[in-house]
Structure formats: C-alpha cells, structure tokens
Amino acid sequence: MEQIYFIINPKAGNGSCLKIWKRLEPELKNKNISYLAFFTEYQGHATSIAATIATRDHEKKILIAVGGDGTMHEVMNGMVKYKNIILGFIPGGSGNDFCRGFQIPSEPAEALEVIFRLMNKEAASIDIGDITMQDQAKYYFINNMGAGFDALISYEVNQSRMKVLLNKLSMGRLIYSYFLLKKLFTYKCSTIDLSIDGKKHIFEHTWFVTVSNQPYYGGGMKIAPGSVPDDGIFDITVVHQLSRLKLLVVFISVFWGKHIHFKEVKTFKGSFVSIQTNSPLYVHADGEFIGYTPLTIYLHSKALKVLTRRQSKEDANLKERGSNDLN
Ligand SMILES: Nc1ncnc2c1ncn2[C@@H]1O[C@H](COP(=O)(O)OP(=O)(O)OP(=O)(O)O)[C@@H](O)[C@H]1O
C-alpha cells in the first residue's frame, strides 16, 4: 500500500479544520492506517511541504490536503509536476467548491471514508490549467481562475476580518455579497483583449473573465454550468457591457447557473487562453490572489491523478452501455 501523507491547514475554516483533524485522526488509528501528518504554519507552506514530500523518493504516494480550496490549491501547486503522487481532499474550509465540482462529500468523516474506498481503485485523471504571469511566474489551478471584478472581491474577502466573524455566525457566504455591494459602485470596467486557441476577441466595458475546469466557484456559484474537469477543454465566461444594477441580477442568477442566458454574458470553450488588458487587473487562481494581468493559460489534459467519486465521461458511457446490454 502507498504511503499516505496529510497536509493540514489548522487555520482553514477559521480554525475549525484543526478540530476536524482531531476528530478524524482516531479513525485512522482505529483502522491501523499508517500515515504522516504535516501542519501548515503560514501562507504558501502547503506548497513547499507538498513539494518536499513529492521529491523525497520516486515511490507512489497519496497526498491528502485537509483544509479549504486555498489549501488544495497550494498542495496541488507543490506536487503537480511529480507523477508518483495521487491527490486527495478532506474539506475543512469555508468555500468547498472543490467538493462540489469533484463530488467529494462535504462532511469530512464521509470524505475520509470515500478516500479509503477509492484508494484501492484507479484514481481519476483530471485536467489542470497553468497560468504564466508577465514576470514568467507560473501558477496551476484545478477549479478555476478569474481576472477583474471577481478576483478583486476574492482578494478583499481573503484579507477581511469580517470573514472570521461571519463564518462564526455560519453566514460565511454573505461576505462575498457584502464586498460585491461595497465595490460594485466604484469598480471601473476595462477593455479585455482575449485570445482563445488563437482566435482574438475584444470586449469593452468588461467586469471579469473566468476560466473554469469545473462548474463551481466563490462558495457555490455555478459560474460554468457545463464545465467538465477531464474533457480536455476549459469553459470561459466573460461578463461585459452590464449596468451596475443588472450585475446584481446576474450575480443572483449565478447560483443556479442561469446567468449564461443574459446577452451580456459570453461563453466560450478553449484550451489556450491569453488575457491582455489596458490596465492591470486583479487575478485569482482557485480563489487565491496571484497577481495582475496580462497572462496566458494553458490546459494540461488529464495531468493530475485525483481521488474523486466523479466518473469520467468514458466510464459513465461504458456503464450506461453495459446496463443497456443486460436488457
Ligand atoms: N498556519 C497558517 N496561518 C495562517 N494562514 C494559513 C496557515 N496555513 C495556511 N494558511 C493560509 O490560509 C488561507 C486560507 O486557506 P483555505 O482556503 O484552505 O481555507 P478557507 O479560506 O477557510 O477555505 P475556502 O477557501 O474553501 O473558503 C490560504 O491562503 C493559506 O495559505
């Protein structure tokens, strides 16, 4: 059996992640599972721990991130180049978009059970995106990335002390709405020069552009309803030429994925994207601030092995055919 490593962000979910880990650890001991656990001590630490584990030797390993989407993002960035690692996730944060998109239970004990079950099976191969910034720095994303208004909001949310307060009151999702309203009336839209697989598009008065590998972001918003994480293509969403008031209506409709029906919301598919702007825009990858535009994005098809309950399209088709054959 592969060696199992856990990387735990004790501060995720405003500290509730540490309590989650304390509840899960006895379960591992009961099952006689041998594991090594590492705790993050600062921002970015999960990336360096994951890279150290990945390069320790060439043995196959299972690396499980315990935390929020930010922890998953950091762990993935540390191990993504090493093919001997299978990635798993136990939710301990506040957003849980990775769970939604990859069909992982939001209850941590259930997520651990799923990991136990999946460990003996073939892990799913998932697409990932790499972002190259102007200074050639590289960041990978597994959920999505965004440039513009949405990245500014996620930057403000992550910096804010209100997140702690609202999470304590179990109203964490309200924080996005709070900053959206706060920034809505002062945000300056810009012209975005977008290139998708070599085809150029110019969008004026643009609020934001997102590139998605799975449908969910921002704590349950269905920004890219048709996105599939192993289909070799990204779903790109552009919101532009929208009045401030109408943006609010679009924002509400995103929770049901209905925003795509507005004429001001444009959707595309592609695997090589470049985003150029007339002034630098905030950029996030999996909800973590990474810098400013311009940038380029490249899709690596099925580049990451992940323990997830989601079936690939091919598996689902095979199963369907199999059950039909029986009739
Ligand atoms: N020991 C630590 N002290 C402070 N911050 C940390 C520590 N370890 C990790 N971090 C940072 O905590 C941030 C938040 O982590 P994460 O996103 O996993 O949790 P969350 O914000 O509660 O969940 P979500 O993103 O799902 O809403 C990340 O930017 C990460 O770099």
CATH (domain of 87): 3.40.50.10330
Phi-psi sector, 69: left (phi>0), alpha (psi -120 to 50), beta = alpha
Q: Mean pLDDT across the stretch 250-255?
A: 92
For residue 97, give the ligand 1 atom closest to its CA: 26
CA of 46 to the centre of ligand 1 (A): 10
Residue 89 has pLDDT above 90, yes or no: yes
Neighbours of 113 (CB within 10 A): 13
Start-to-end Cα distance in the chain: 39
Residue 108 has pLDDT above 70, yes or no: yes
CA of 210 to the centre of ligand 1 (A): 22
Give a yes or no: residue 283 inside a domain. Answer: yes
**Cβ-Cβ contacts under 8 Å for 308 (sequence gap 6 or more):** 102, 103, 104, 118, 123, 124, 126
pLDDT at residue 173 in the model:
67
pLDDT at residue 139 in the model:
98
Residue 63 has pLDDT above 90, yes or no: yes
Residues making up the chain, counted from first to last: 327
The residue whose C-alpha atom lies closest to atom 31 belonging to ligand 1 is 43
Q: Mean pLDDT across the stretch 25-44?
A: 94
Residue 140 has pLDDT above 80, yes or no: yes
Residues with a CB atom less than 6 Å from ligand 1 = 9-13, 40-45, 67-71, 74, 93-96, 287-288
For residue 74, give the ligand 1 atom closest to its CA: 31
CA distance 194 to 148: 13
CA distance 318 to 79: 31
CA of 236 to the centre of ligand 1 (A): 26
CA of 260 to the centre of ligand 1 (A): 31
Lowest mean pLDDT among 90-94, 165-169, 195-199, 271-275: 165-169
pLDDT at residue 120 in the model:
84
Give a yes or no: residue 141 inside a domain. Answer: yes
CA distance 88 to 75: 10
For residues 44 and 138, state if they share a domain: no
For residues 14 and 75, state if they share a domain: yes
User: Which among 43, 72, 167 is the best mutation to test ligand 1's pocket, defined by most ligand atoms within 8 Å of the CB?
Assistant: 43
pLDDT at residue 95 in the model:
78
Can you spell out the DSSP letters for 136-157? --EEEESSEEEEEHHHHHHHHH
CATH of the domain at 223: 2.60.200.40
The DSSP code for 172 is T
Residue 192 tokens, joined: 């975005």
pLDDT at residue 170 in the model:
65
For the chain, the average pLDDT equals 91
Q: Which domain holds residue 68?
A: 3-121
For residues 112 and 168, state if they share a domain: no
pTM of the model: 0.92
pLDDT at residue 320 in the model:
47
For residues 49 and 151, state if they share a domain: no
User: Which among 38, 49, 71, 288 is the best mutation to test ligand 1's pocket, defined by most ligand atoms within 8 Å of the CB?
Assistant: 71
Give a yes or no: residue 314 inside a domain. Answer: no
For residues 153 and 117, state if they share a domain: no
Instruction: Tell me the torsion sign for CA atoms 234, 238, 244, 247.
Output: negative
Burial of 297 (0-12, 13-18, 19+ CB in 10 A): buried
Give a yes or no: residue 158 inside a domain. Answer: yes
